[in-house]
Amino acid sequence: MTNDIMKVLITEEQIERRVKELGRELSDKFEGSEPLFIGVLKGSFIFMADLIRNVSLKCSMDFMAVSSYGNGTTTSGAVKINKDLNEDIAGRHVIIVEDILDSGVTLTYLCGYLQNRKPESITLVTLLDKPARRKAPIKADYVGFEVPDEFVVGYGLDFAEKYRNLPFVGVLKPEIYSDCEE
């Protein structure tokens, strides 16, 4: 699998250090409250698992599954909720945990969708931010790393459902993408 990688953008050590910092910042910001962390599946599952272990709050967690991408590397623009929350979020501090903020279409939709349920607040945490590709005017409150306009995989992020288990974030060799392009 690592033979398919052209370059490593963010190492395992860099991720570990940054996730610790983010966990500390969130613990400080929400001290005294019991926020609900919402992981956006599937991409955020590894980030979420590492992040919450660095959060010292009495928090709860839930997951949503949304899809906006097919098997290629470009967005279709449409967002579909495949799995909704099990908990009521009215009056709660909600922290959305996402793998990457790309066009912003997914998170814009998700924030609007959750806002209708009257949470006390919504905070957006994303491991990666790719501002060059933004279509919707949305900013994350916490960003792990800014990445260039390249399709990245690893640490939860996939290409055609593969490479999520790489412990670092990297870019695949061009021939891997072109073999699968829609």
* By the rule CB under 5 A, 129 interacts with Mg ion: no
Contact call for residue 99 and Mg ion (CB under 5 A): yes
Of 140, 149, 142, 146, the closest CA to residue 128 belongs to 146
Beta bridge partners of 98: 126
Contact criterion met (CB below 8 Å) for 144 and 51: no
Can you tell me which of 35, 39, 43, 154 binds Mg ion, judged by CB under 5 A?
Answer: 43
Distance of CA 43 to the CA centre of its chain: 6
For residue 14, the partner it binds in ligand IMP, Mg ion, none, with Cβ less than 5 to 8 A by kind, is none
Q: Which of 50, 99, 102, 129 is catalytic?
A: 102
Q: Which stretch binds Mg ion (CB under 5 A): 36-44, 133-141, 148-156, 161-169?
A: 36-44
- Answer left, alpha or beta for residue 156, where phi above 0 means left and psi between -120 and 50 means alpha: left
Query: Left, alpha or beta for 91 (phi > 0: left; psi -120 to 50: alpha)?
Result: left
Footprint of ligand IMP on this chain (CB under 6 A)?
43, 68-69, 75, 98-106, 151-153, 157
Clarify whether 88 is annotated catalytic: no
Q: Which lies closer to ligand IMP via its Cβ, residue 31 or residue 161?
A: 161
Q: Active-site positions?
A: 102
Applying CB under 5 A, the residues found at the interface with Mg ion are 43, 99
